[in-house]
Structure 1
């Protein structure tokens, strides 16, 4: 009986790709082969060059080839590995190559910010997907046609996206379990000391109590309301009322645990979103201000400078706006 043909993964390593999501994706394949005693998976590394790809930490990874001499088969999976300054990597050769592989029937996937490239190529239109939480707001603004989730990974038919970091492990374990059973996936996880296998229902970020270092249910509930209403901020009085306390009690709660007022905390959260949008999208300064809950661009600029030490215009490298 002929041996089973291994499923092949082609990892597209874009320049300045993040190493952890890539290695977290390829290692489960190696360990699945080792644990099963069979060549269940094969992989190759390609890039826009022919010899090396440089990741965001400065390390260089040898490539098996470039895009011109690489074609995927129908049963192959392409995994785009993104990293910093991802929009720059959405070049015509990369997008054209990805569309060609998709037309050939290959499964198209991405880890970390690689989903941005798939979306730019139109390969996530009307599909469910995820991306690293830091890039979520910018992605949502740039690609409204994508059904974006905050899960650690998402599988929608033959589209795969993992948010970054160790989420690649969970996505690959899911694929291993689908193809070869839960027992093998569990054995691979055990080899990686990955003690909790997350599903596509698990969210990316740590819980609010863990992030702020405070386990107070009412405080966590108020912060969750803030984070869910950045474009249309809720007044402190309404936040307090919804949490079943007075405005003064809310003020004391924030001062005690976070050493700032609710208004200040809300402002900093909105400005953090604004900074992400400035760095990740081509939205105008006015659009960024409105998307972050500021009705006045001048007020937005003043608050931004107070927190970050520079104006939104200088963050973009565009200088100050013209004076009327």
Structure 2
């Protein structure tokens, strides 16, 4: 993104607040702009808050923000940043899609923090662009938008599109954008003022390293767990995992028992069930399709494993009746209607 693409001074940013947006991500995006103005001792950036209808919007923590207007009230804007968070699918609407497409036609830069990329993707505005999204939403996003290039990086800047994963990563993204719009010295001063130096590069990953996550640095174990995470839809057999790591199946068992206190088969199953829960909560995929996406060929086996691990069925997870109960309800309704 070049200086001319960002626009002339003052660079104006409109933050579109979607209900249940992440306050941490929003604050991390707006504060660097305020600090840049303070340090530059002039109005380098201006900003405003929008909601779809102009009404107050509650963040995911319950704090309510009053915007300056609705979509129709945007008078000028070099940049629009979509700020969302929980249950983002609920707030995707045709009017919002049409408005975002219109901004794109007008040459407005489009950004997103946390789960905002879901809204841009649903509007067809990420086709041919790189983006990123919070790691918890990555599985559901790739299932719904398989043709969009999505990374696990902290943030992505691709021409007039930019996105960050949420949390504090918008600080790094906005500081980088400040460097592009103004100069790197100002950007570095902003980062230091936020006690966020050094500035993290956009290619850094969101999550802590795999050895840190599993609490072990054994190279063979790390290699095997990475292979498991990359093959959740088509699980590898213990023999395949052991062979690829240059181990026997007995050595594989001992390795997992020693460091993770469970068998490799059990650990693999837990990874697949965790992905299934994310898909159930974050997508409209059918339970059967979720089962298949997580390597279960039998819906009944999936339901049994899910209930044993989470103490509720996949249908109950969504607040839906199970398939047998659903059919019984339909039959009762048909009988009542005569």
Q: TM-score range by the shorter chain?
A: over 0.9
Structure 1 stretches lacking a partner, 5+ long: none
Query: Residues 209-288 of structure 1: matches in 2 within 5 Å?
Result: 209-288=211-290
Query: How many Å separate the matches in 2 of 1:108 and 1:213?
Result: 39
RMSD over aligned Cα, in angstroms? 1.6
CA apart distance, 1:51: 4.5
Q: What residue is the counterpart of 1:102 in the other structure?
A: 104
Structure 1 residue 285 displacement after superposition: 1.5
Aligned pairs for 1:75-114 within 5 A: 76-114=78-116
TM-score (norm 1): 0.94
Matched, 1:37 2:16: no
CA contact (8 A) 1:72 1:101 kept: no
For 2:192 and 2:217, the matched residues in 1 are separated by 31
Conservation of the 8 A alpha-carbon contact between 1:109 and 1:161: yes
Q: Are 1:133 and 1:150, in contact at CA under 8 Å, matched by a contact in 2?
A: yes
Please give the alpha-carbon distance, in whole angstroms, between the structure 2 residues aligned to 1:285 and 1:278: 7
Whole-Å Cα distance in 2 between the matches of residues 293 and 93 of structure 1?
37
Aligned mates of 1:113, 1:228 — CA distance in 2: 22
| Count of aligned pairs | 319
Q: SS of the counterpart of 1:211?
A: helix
Unaligned runs of 5+ in 2: 1-7, 328-338
Conserved 8 A contact 1:72-1:104: no
What residue is the counterpart of 1:52 in the other structure?
56
Alignment correspondent of 1:10 = 14
- Structure that is richer in helix per residue: 2
- Give the 3 Å change call, closer, same or farther, for CA 208–245 of structure 1 in structure 2: same
TM-score of the two chains, using structure 2 as the length reference: 0.90
> C-alpha separation between the residues in 2 aligned to 1:275 and 1:196?
36
Q: Within 2, Cα distance between the matches of 1:254 and 1:193?
A: 40
SS in 1 for 2:26: helix
Match of 2:151 in 1: 149
Partner secondary structure for residue 178 of structure 2: helix
**In 1, Cα distance between the equivalents of 2:9 and 2:293?**
50
Q: Which runs of 4+ in 1 moved over 4 A?
A: none
> CA offsets per residue over residues 97-145 of structure 1, 9 Å max, x none?
2122111110011000011111111111222111111111111111223
